[in-house]
Amino acid sequence: MEILKLKIRADGEGKVILQVPQDLANQELEIAVIYQPAFPTPATQTPEELGWPPGFFEQTAGCLADEPLVRYDQGEYEVREELD
């Protein structure tokens, strides 16, 4: 079994003409077709479809605009006994 990877364009009717290499002429072949668009269009999902509560981004966007974020002192790191 060999894999032959081709990039071809389907015509307006959705037809594709497959030409195999000359050394495969006059042979019985079993062909499996797996297709993938060359430039897949991303499926856009709403935030609700992605699991977010309705209105989440509208309610929370910019909610910290007037309050600057402060990172307080993290303290000293605990020194632990080394493992053998």
> What token pair was written down for 34?
């797996």
**3-7, 38-42, 68-72 — which one is most confidently predicted on average?**
68-72
User: At residue 41, does pLDDT exceed 80?
Assistant: no
Binned at pLDDT 50, 70 and 90, residue 64 comes out as confident
- List of residues 6+ apart from 10 with CB closer than 8 A: 16
Name the pTM for this structure: 0.35
| Residue 23, φ and ψ in degrees, nearest 5 | -70, -10
Q: What single-letter amino acid sits at 29?
A: L
User: At residue 31, does pLDDT exceed 90?
Assistant: no
Helix and strand numbers, DSSP H then E, in the chain: 1, 0
Q: What pLDDT score was predicted for residue 65? A: 81
C-alpha to C-alpha distance for 8 and 69, rounded to whole angstroms = 53
Q: What pLDDT score was predicted for residue 51? A: 93
